[in-house]
Amino acid sequence: MNPDPLIPFPEVGEADNLPESGPTDNRIPTWGPWVVVAGTAAVLGGLLALTAFNLALLIFGTVIISIFGIYLWARLIEGRRQAFDRAVTLGVTSLFALAMIPLVSLLYTVVSKGLSRIDAEFFTSSMRNVIGEGGGILHAAIGTFIITGLATLASVPVGIMAAVYLHEYGKGKLKRALTFFVDVMTGIPSIVAGLFAFALFAIFFGPGIRMGVMGSVALCVLMIPIVVRSTEEMLRIVPDGLREASYALGVSKWRTVAKVVLPTAMAGIVTGVMLAVARIIGETAPLLITTGAFSSVNLNPFSGRMDNLPVFTYNQYKNPGVPPEPYIDRAWAAALVLIAIVMVLFLVARFISRRYGTELRR
C-alpha cells in the first residue's frame, strides 16, 4: 500500500532510469588494491630511475598515489562511501607497514650481526683478563638478574600496597597528592633516577661509590609507578559485586581486599609486574652512573662494581680495542640476548594474561 496517496508509485520500467544514489552491486576484486599499489610502485620507480632514484620518495609517493587511485576506482564502481572506506583502509594499512619497517630492520640487523658470536663460551665465560677475541657475558648476565631481581623485590610490594591504598582506601588530599606524584614519577627520565640513586648513596659512602644495589634503587624509581598504575587498573575492573557479597557475609574490608579482590586481580597484577620488569631490564643510563663496569663476576650487590648487559653492550661498542671487530661482535650479541630476554618476559606476560586472566572477563 502506498503510504502517501499524493506521491504515486513509479511506473514499471521507471526505476531503471532513476539516478544512482548509493553503491552498486559491482565490486572491486580482492586483489584490486594490491594491483594498484604494485602498478603505482612500478611506474613511479621507473620514473625515478630515469631521474634520481630515492627509496623514501618511492615509498611515500607509492602510498599517496595508491590511496588516490583506489579511491577513484572504487568511486566509479562501488560508490562514494565504499570508496572512502577503501582509501582509509589502504592508508591505515600503509602507515602500519611503514611503522613496521624500522622494527623489522632493527630485528634483522641485531639478529644477523649477533648470531655470529652466540656460542657456549659467550654464555659461560666473563671478560676477566680477556683482550681481543673470546670472553662472554656471564658476569654481565648475572649482574643484570641480581640488580633487576632486587629492584623487583623492592618495587612490587610497595607498588601493590600503594595501588590498594589509592583504589580501596584513599580519600581527600592525600590520595590526590599520591596520584600526582605517581603521575610525575611515570614520566621521569631514567637518567634522573640514576642521579638520584647516586646522590643518595654518595651522601653516606662518598662520591666515588659504585654498587649493584645503587642500580636497583634507581630502577625502583622507574618501576614503582608502573606497578602502581597497572595494579590500580586491575583493581578497578574487579566487579563491585564481589566486594559487596563479602561485606554482606560480615567480612572486614582488609580481609575482603586480601582474600577476594587481590586474588581475583592477581593474573592482571602479575602481567603488569612482568611488563614493568621488561621495561626496566634494558635501562642503560641509570646503571652507567650507579653500577659502573666490571669484568669479573660479582655476586654481592652491596660491595663493589657490578656489570650488567646494557652497560656491557654500551662499553663494548663505545671503547673497542685493537682490532675492534671482537668488541663490536660482543656488543651485537649482548644486545641480541637482551632483546631475547625482554621478548620472553612479554610472552610470559601474555600467557599469564590469557591463561589465568579469565576470571575478570566472566
Asked whether 331 and 257 are in contact (CB, 8 A), the reply is: no
Residues 151 and 98 in one domain: no
The verdict on residue 290 lying in a domain is yes
Mean of the pLDDT values across residues 223-237?
A: 91
Mean pLDDT for 1-12 is 50
Give domain status of residue 7, yes or no. no
Number of domains in the chain: 2
Residue 36 and residue 127 in one domain: no
Residue 315 maps to which CATH number?
A: 1.10.3720.10
pLDDT, position 19:
44
> What pLDDT sits at residue 16?
46
Q: Which domain holds residue 90?
A: 27-107
Confidence of residue 213 (pLDDT cuts 50, 70, 90): very high
What proportion of the chain, given as a percentage, has pLDDT over 90?
Answer: 24
At 278, list the grid cell.
621488561
Phi and psi at residue 237, in whole multiples of 5°?
-90, 0
- 96, part of any domain: yes
**360 or 110, greater pLDDT:** 110
Distance in angstroms (rounded) separating the CA atoms of residues 224 and 159? 5
